[in-house]
Amino acid sequence: MSIRAKVAGIGHYLPQRVVPNAEFEKTLDTSDEWIRSRSGIERRHFAAEGETTSMLAAHAAEAALKDAGLEAPDLDALIVATSTPDLTFPSAATMVQARIGMTGGFAFDVQAVCAGFVYALSTANAMIVSGQAKRVMVIGAETFSRIMDWTDRATCVLFGDGAGALILEASEGAGSAADRGILSVDLHSDGQFRDLLYVDGGVSTQSTGHLRMEGKEVFRHAVEKLAKTATAAMEKAGVTSEEVDWVVPHQANIRIINGTAKKLGLPMERVVVTVQDHGNTSAASIPLALSVGKAEGKIKSGDVVVTEAIGGGLAWGAVVIRW
């Protein structure tokens, strides 16, 4: 017998304001056609003035609790993956804790940019498997609209705001790939690539800064590294690509999603794609896609789901889950 971290519930939240590509044509030398064809993005959601990451996260958390049939005090721990917290401190996670009425347990943030949700899942899994926690809420939540340079057409058209939340709980498994829950994790980072994707400000430099990206270079690393980490995670889990029901990739660019699926030998019919509606929501993109995939009746109990993400750092990784 071995302990597994099984999915107990999922939910998401998107801010009300939807911004279609055409809006950017008013202020930038860009077009709906360019954005669609180069990234696959058609629209994205932007948070309202005063609407913060912890607010989006709390809505998603409440949806996940409802889906699981649980109440906030049933949670032992809450992790928020974000690079856009409300404040320098306290953590967004403790703010969510207060918002949802979770007065016990513990809460903290994880920061691995677009790979943040995969890193947070890995952390929650380790805590459950080691017996430190029984039920952990894992949230990816971002307000990337706050760090856009609205004069940089190469970045500001690509990102959006949103939040997704997933609850993991301890359950007994046989220790085989037939178990439900997280089957494997594969994480990497390489700080040498800092200048490819970063924010040119922060607490210690006394500014907020804006996102800067060498898009072409990140693209090149993305397809190669994502296919590699997903393959490694599948090998660790003992599942073949034929056994994978769904790939739920980080939603940055449809061409990266297509290229990675091709390298993995998986048809696009088995890939959950939300990039057209959400844009790149960084750490929120995988839980958003998981939640949408489940709501659309794609992801079902017992399915093998492979998630993979890459972002600033560079940091990347993959997690295999039997739903």
**H helical segments located in the chain:** 22-25, 32-39, 53-68, 92-100, 116-129, 153-156, 215-237, 254-264, 275-278, 285-295
Give the pair of three-digit tokens for residue 57: 């996260």
User: Which of residues 5, 61, 68, 114 is near ligand UT7 by CB under 6 A?
Assistant: 114
36 Cβ contact list (under 8 Å, min separation 6): 21, 42
283 counts as binding ligand UT7 under rule CB under 6 A: no
Length of the chain: 323
CB of 309 to ligand UT7, least distance (A): 8
The site string for ligand UT7 over 186-225 (x = CB under 6 A, - otherwise) reads -----------------------------xx-xx--x---
- Using the minimum distance from each CB to ligand UT7, give the nearer residue, 38 or 270: 38
Is omega for the bond preceding 267 within 30 degrees of 0, making it cis? no
DSSP 169: E
Least separation in angstroms between CB 220 and ligand UT7: 9
In the set 4, 6, 39, 46, which binds ligand UT7 (CB under 6 A)? 39
Is 250 labeled as catalytic in the residue annotation? Answer: yes
Which residue's C-beta sits nearest to ligand UT7? 215
The least distance separating ligand UT7 from the CB of residue 280, rounded to whole angstroms, comes to 5
Residue 182 touches ligand UT7, criterion: CB under 6 A: no
Residue 207 neighbours by CB distance under 10 Å:
11
Catalytic residue among 114, 125, 210, 221: 114
C-alpha span between 322 and 278 (Å, rounded): 25
CB environment 176-196: b (16+ within 10 A), e (fewer)? ebebbbbbbbbbbbeeebeeb
**108 is a site residue for ligand UT7 (CB under 6 A):** no
The catalytic residue positions are: 114, 250, 280
Residue ranges that bind ligand UT7, judged by CB under 6 A: 30, 34-35, 38-39, 114, 153-154, 157, 215-216, 218-219, 222, 252-253, 256, 280, 310-311
